[in-house]
Amino acid sequence: MTGSLTVTKVGNGLVKRIDQVLFSLPRTYLAAGILSIQALLFYAYSISGVWVPLGIFYLLNLYFAAKYLGARFSFILAFVAATGKTLIKVGFYPDDALWWHAQWQFVSTLSIYTLFCYLMNAQLSGRRHAEEALDKLSKLNEAIITNADSGIMVFRDDGECLIANYAAARILGCPLDRLYGLNYKDDATWFMQRLLAAGREAMRSGEERKFTAKLCTVAGRDVWCATSIRQIKRADTSYMLMVFTDISAYKESEDARQRADKETAVALARAGVAERKLLSISEETQQRIGRELHDDLGQLLTGVAFMSEVLFQKLKDAGIEEMRDASKITMLVNEAMSRTRLLAHGLYPAELGEKGLCRMMEKFAGYVEGIYRIDCDFYCQPGCQIEGSDVAINLFRITQEAVSNAVKHGHAKHVELRVVNSPSNRMMVEILDDGCGITDAKASESAGLGMRTMRYRAELLGAALEVGARDSGGTRVAVTLPVLH
């Protein structure tokens, strides 16, 4: 089987070479040659007579005429051949040819030769169209390979390079002629050992090899390439197809993106530290102001209240009319002391760590009623207990901000504070009011400092913050803690 395939390949190659030589000759030379062959056939026929079968040679000459000179010349030659054979038979062998024999031979011979020319021309025309289409396709493939952005190289089984495009020369940094001189079976010709090793492994195993690596070119420049190497089998011959794409620009942009991501992560981490520090400073400042209000200003107001009370008693004992003014001063000072105490407790919830969030929020409800003169209810579901001072202080500050927004922006007259279990059995703190409410769009787009602080405190706890309008009117703020709380 292998021997027959080899003989066929050799024969096809010989026919192609002969065709190339004959098609390269001028048509007049070819016509003269074919007419000379026809004249020799006439001469042989005149000598040998009808007893020597020369018909096959006539048909071969017609085939050459149709193939190399076209259909018109072949039909003319068929008429000349039929006429010549008839005249030779009548002229050289008159005793064997009656008048109707000559007419019959001319008609039959011309019909056979004409039919043969028609069939040969039809077959050659179809073959010619197929060869032209194949040639166009081959040129298109060659143009695609030549102009491809990826480097493409093809090697025969014996190691010789058959195809190499300009992109391969550009990526590898060497002339195209040098690539055609490569042989993957000869180490001395190769300058990129990783490609050589991968190519040999692909040819040995028959499996495709894909990898992305930095390759060193002839000029010593490093190029990132995505490479694919595989074996292609055609008949009894194997080829190695090597395709590599320069992805250096992509790698550079990817490295830049990764560096930007790292820098962004560092910046976000620093921003988080700054925000936590800011909250810590804010918390410390509020606690300090609360302590000073309670310890300093509260003590001064207590002294003023005591002195005004003494003054009131003295004026009363003396029966002086201004004792009523002294009494009003004492009342106002006591009111100021009460409000200062409530304000100090809001800024510095000292009982938060000792008595817990629920107890502090209950006292905060009273503080809201005393300061803002509105109704404020508190409800704590039995069994709900908030553990951890950091969790409690952040929830308390969120509650303070939500109540402040309800009074200042929502103009609420009634606020309800709730500590309950959510439907998913997670701890939840709710602040409900009957104010003018807030739309979902405003809640999501809110960029106020208070809203941002609330969201950040919730994120610190890993909690979910929900701000939205209530169906019955007003606003609902809910902080749902993670399961661990």
Instruction: Give the angle 322-328-332 at the CA atoms, nearest 5°.
Output: 150
Environment class of residue 12 by beta-carbon count within 10 Å: exposed (0-12), middle (13-18) or buried (19+)? Answer: exposed
The answer to whether residue 4 sits within a structural domain is: no
328 pLDDT exceeds 70?
Answer: yes
Residue 476 and residue 378 share a domain:
yes
8 Å CB contact between 428 and 381:
no
Mean pLDDT check: name the lowest of 53-57, 62-66, 134-138: 53-57
Token couple for 261:
């991501």
Residue 16 and residue 137 share a domain:
yes
The answer to whether residue 411 sits within a structural domain is: yes
Furthest C-alpha separation in the chain: 185
Q: Which residues pair with 455 in a beta bridge?
A: none
Q: Which residues pair with 478 in a beta bridge?
A: 430, 466
Tracing tokens 């701890």 back to the chain, one arrives at 427
The answer to whether residue 24 sits within a structural domain is: yes
Averaged pLDDT score across all residues of the chain: 79
Closest CA to 67 of 123, 132, 126, 124: 124
Residue 280 and residue 224 share a domain:
no
Look at residues 145, 171, 205 and tell me which one is the last residue of a structural domain. 145
Find the domain containing 454 and state its range. Answer: 357-480
Environment class of residue 425 by beta-carbon count within 10 Å: exposed (0-12), middle (13-18) or buried (19+)? Answer: exposed
Overall number of domains in the chain: 4
CA 431/CA 479 separation, integer angstroms:
9
331 pLDDT exceeds 60?
Answer: yes
The answer to whether residue 126 sits within a structural domain is: yes
Residue 137 and residue 36 share a domain:
yes
CA 115 to chain centre: 64
The answer to whether residue 5 sits within a structural domain is: no
Residue 341 and residue 427 share a domain:
no
Instruction: Give the angle 411-416-417 at the CA atoms, nearest 5°.
Output: 120
Can you tell me the mean pLDDT for 173-183?
86
Tracing tokens 């009494």 back to the chain, one arrives at 327
8 Å CB contact between 279 and 456:
yes
Q: How far apart are the first and last CA of the chain?
A: 81
Environment class of residue 23 by beta-carbon count within 10 Å: exposed (0-12), middle (13-18) or buried (19+)? Answer: exposed
Query: Residue 274: CB partners within 8 Å, gap ≥ 6?
Result: none
CATH (domain of 221): 3.30.450.20
CA 365/CA 372 separation, integer angstroms:
10
The answer to whether residue 63 sits within a structural domain is: yes
Length of the chain: 485
Token couple for 308:
């005004």
For 316-391, strand residue ranges (E) read 375-380
Angle formed by the axes of helices 352-372 and 323-347, nearest 10°:
130
The answer to whether residue 433 sits within a structural domain is: yes
Residue 437 and residue 316 share a domain:
no
pLDDT, residue 415, reads 92
Look at residues 102, 128, 145 and tell me which one is the last residue of a structural domain. 145
CATH (domain of 396): 3.30.565.10
74: how many CB neighbours lie within 10 A of its CB?
26
Residue 373 and residue 287 share a domain:
no
The string of pLDDT tens digits covering residues 376-387 is: 999 888 877 776
Residue 221 and residue 202 share a domain:
yes
Kindly indicate the confidence band of residue 5, based on its pLDDT and cuts at 50, 70 and 90: very low
Token couple for 201:
């492994």
CA 116/CA 62 separation, integer angstroms:
8
The string of pLDDT tens digits covering residues 78-116 is: 888 888 887 877 766 665 555 556 677 788 888 888 898
pLDDT, residue 289, reads 65
121: how many CB neighbours lie within 10 A of its CB?
21
2 pLDDT exceeds 50?
Answer: no
Kindly indicate the confidence band of residue 177, based on its pLDDT and cuts at 50, 70 and 90: confident
Residue 380 and residue 336 share a domain:
no
Residue 216 and residue 194 share a domain:
yes
Share of the chain above pLDDT 90, in %: 4
Strands 222-234 and 237-246: antiparallel
Q: Which residues pair with 465 in a beta bridge?
A: 479
Residue 182 and residue 136 share a domain:
no
445 pLDDT exceeds 50?
Answer: yes
The answer to whether residue 394 sits within a structural domain is: yes
CA 224/CA 240 separation, integer angstroms:
22
Look at residues 348, 383, 408 and tell me which one is the last residue of a structural domain. 348
Closest CA to 412 of 386, 443, 438: 438
pTM of the model: 0.45
8 Å CB contact between 322 and 308:
no
Kindly indicate the confidence band of residue 416, based on its pLDDT and cuts at 50, 70 and 90: very high
Residue 20 and residue 115 share a domain:
yes
